[in-house]
Amino acid sequence: MATLGLSEAEREAVERLQRDVIEPSMTGLVLLDFWAERCGPCKQLSPLLDKIAGDYADKGVKLVKIDVDQDKLIASQFQIQSIPTVYAFYRGQPVADLSNYRTEGQLKRILDQLIAQLGVKGESADQQAEIEPLLAMGEGILAEGDAPRAVSVFQQIHEMAPSDPLVIGGLARALLAAGQREEARAALDAAPPETATHAEISRARAALELGEAAPEADTSDLESRIASNPDDFEARYELAGAKMAAGDRDAAADALLDLIARDPDWNEGAARKRLLQLIEAQGLEDPWARSQRRRLSALLFT
């Protein structure tokens, strides 16, 4: 937009448009809201746009408001006939007119479509790409059994992405493996509420609960009780817990499956619940976990 012959105020408006809309749109999606203080519908829409812009900020979405009574030149350049008018800008060009979308659901659906179609990448995508190799390194170190080093790696990643459920879950499991149970609980309790049902948070909580329930004791007495009375289900259940405490997940699963085969309803299905916890703690996509799920299904449904 040429600035020759413009007043100082108009030149400033043009510069603001370039700085606040055009330049950010080169890498993100800018919502341009044309409004005015005298406009009742504008006042109703404004808080909703503020909320959505906040929700989508890490996805590369930014909201800019243009007061048509203050920035008349800009409004005229865009040929604004009525307000509120909302345009989506990407790479310096308007890509969608969002003026007819007035509910949160409608606006979020169209934004999701635009982000996917245009390939908009926000800070969260950039950050995810940055931490993915670090997460893989941390998981590899943890799998090798070097829990203290894994804790150090996950703590560094946590400083970069403190709200990421993959990071929180990995850190909690590393802390558990290092024997720092209270620290693991604190890490999980500090997780954002919206991550509570994420698979990695659930996995870490399952591991925490298993660790708290598993007695660390000599199993010879339990094995003697089972030998003299195969239907001593309490002893079988405690033996599974002891095996878990010792890190012998195969023996723990075997003990629980044996108990389930004998009486699946014992103690309100306690053995099945504990086995599902053990499976979840390993990660639902873990080959061992999938194998144990198949064994459980074979017992229950054949």
Residue 1 has a CB neighbour count (10 Å cut-off) of: 13
C-alpha to C-alpha distance for 278 and 152, rounded to whole angstroms: 25
CA torsion sign for 5, 7, 10, 16 is positive
First CA to last CA across the chain, in angstroms? 74
Q: How far is CA 59 from the centre of its chain?
A: 14
Adjacent-strand bridge partners of 67: 35
Secondary structure in 3-state letters for 211-230: HHHCCCCCCHHHHHHHHHCC
Q: Among the options 31, 42, 252, 271, which is catalytic?
A: 42
Longest dimension (CA), the chain: 101
Residue 270: what residue type?
A: A
Catalytic residue among 14, 17, 29, 39: 39
222 touches 239 (CB < 8 A): yes
For residue 108, indicate whether it is catalytic.
no
106 tagged catalytic: no
Question: 158-194 burial string, b = 16+ CB within 10 Å, else e?
Answer: beebeebbbbbbbbbbbbbbbebeebbbebbeebeee
The residues annotated as belonging to the active site are 39, 42
